[in-house]
Amino acid sequence: MSSVAIIDYGAGNLHSAAKAFERMARALGGVDILVTADPEQVRQADRIMLPGVGAFADCKAGLDAVLGMIEVLEEQVIRGGKPFLGVCVGMQLMASEGREKAVTAGLGWIPGAVERIRPSDPQLKIPHMGWNTITKTRPHALLEGIPDGPDGLHAYFVHSYHLVTEDDAMRIAITDYGGALTACVGRDNLFGAQFHPEKSQALGLRLIDNFLRWTP
């Protein structure tokens, strides 16, 4: 049986994320979903998911506080090549740094900075909250079978900041909110979604299913 570790570091939407993963794992069969704060259990997992809700600095501090977790992530994800999915602030933590109130170092996996959303239309409120379509900027296995563009499926967003990548090739999908915002990033065995798959109904469930099948 394969396994997915959903990391509990005090900053994630763990209950609904675990339920969505468990639903797709049952349909697929042979996949164990584990919510854990134990680095050793993360080390043993076949796939790793990092959630996150709140401020970048607070989430990074929470992750730093779990003794050995960042070291295991570097070992298993960066050097070991295990499939990794970051969601919302979990995706933002993949960046070089966050610029929310103060500059905070991220994991440095996706070169770029997490910056405040500045819509061209001043009538648009921050945070960007609600349902939006996404537009793929390049193909990716985790977005296979997901209709995109103006008539595509909708994803659920709640954020005031987004990841501005240094390398356009690492930006996989965008959404429009008074300008293009990063919706998905990735490289190699890494993928990040700014929206919440567990709240995004058909789009989110397909993305989770794709992740459970993904062999980068």
Question: In whole angstroms, what is the distance from residue 17 CA to residue 197 CA?
Answer: 8
Question: In whole angstroms, what is the distance from residue 54 CA to residue 203 CA?
Answer: 23
Question: In whole angstroms, what is the distance from residue 6 CA to residue 18 CA?
Answer: 7
In this predicted structure, what is the pLDDT of residue 12? 73
Q: What is the pTM of this model?
A: 0.96
Question: In whole angstroms, what is the distance from residue 54 CA to residue 60 CA?
Answer: 10
> Cα-flanking dihedrals φ and ψ of residue 121, to 5°?
-95, 115
In this predicted structure, what is the pLDDT of residue 99? 97
Please give the average per-residue pLDDT across 166-180, as a whole number: 97
Give the model's confidence band at 97: pLDDT under 50 very low, under 70 low, under 90 confident, else very high. very high
Query: Is 100's pLDDT higher than 80?
Result: yes
**Coil vs helix vs strand at 165:** strand
pLDDT per position as a tens digit, 138-154: 999 999 999 999 999 99
In this predicted structure, what is the pLDDT of residue 1? 79
pLDDT per position as a tens digit, 13-68: 788 899 999 999 998 988 999 999 999 999 999 999 999 999 999 999 999 999 99
Question: In whole angstroms, what is the distance from residue 179 CA to residue 19 CA?
Answer: 33
In this predicted structure, what is the pLDDT of residue 62? 95
For 75, residues 6+ apart whose C-beta sits below 8 A from its C-beta are: 43
Note if the bond before 147 is cis, omega within 30 degrees.
no
Domain hosting residue 190, numbered range: 2-213
**What is the domain count for the chain?**
1
Q: How far is CA 67 from CA 37, 62, 73, 81, 96, in A?
A: 9, 10, 12, 21, 21
Orientation of helix 14-28 relative to helix 201-213, angle to 10°: 60
Give the model's confidence band at 11: pLDDT under 50 very low, under 70 low, under 90 confident, else very high. confident
Question: In whole angstroms, what is the distance from residue 206 CA to residue 198 CA?
Answer: 10
Please give the average per-residue pLDDT across 67-85, as a whole number: 98
In this predicted structure, what is the pLDDT of residue 126? 95
Query: Is 178's pLDDT higher than 80?
Result: yes
Residues facing residue 131 across a β-bridge: 156
User: The CATH number of the domain where 132 resides is what?
Assistant: 3.40.50.880
List residues with catalytic annotation: 88, 196, 198
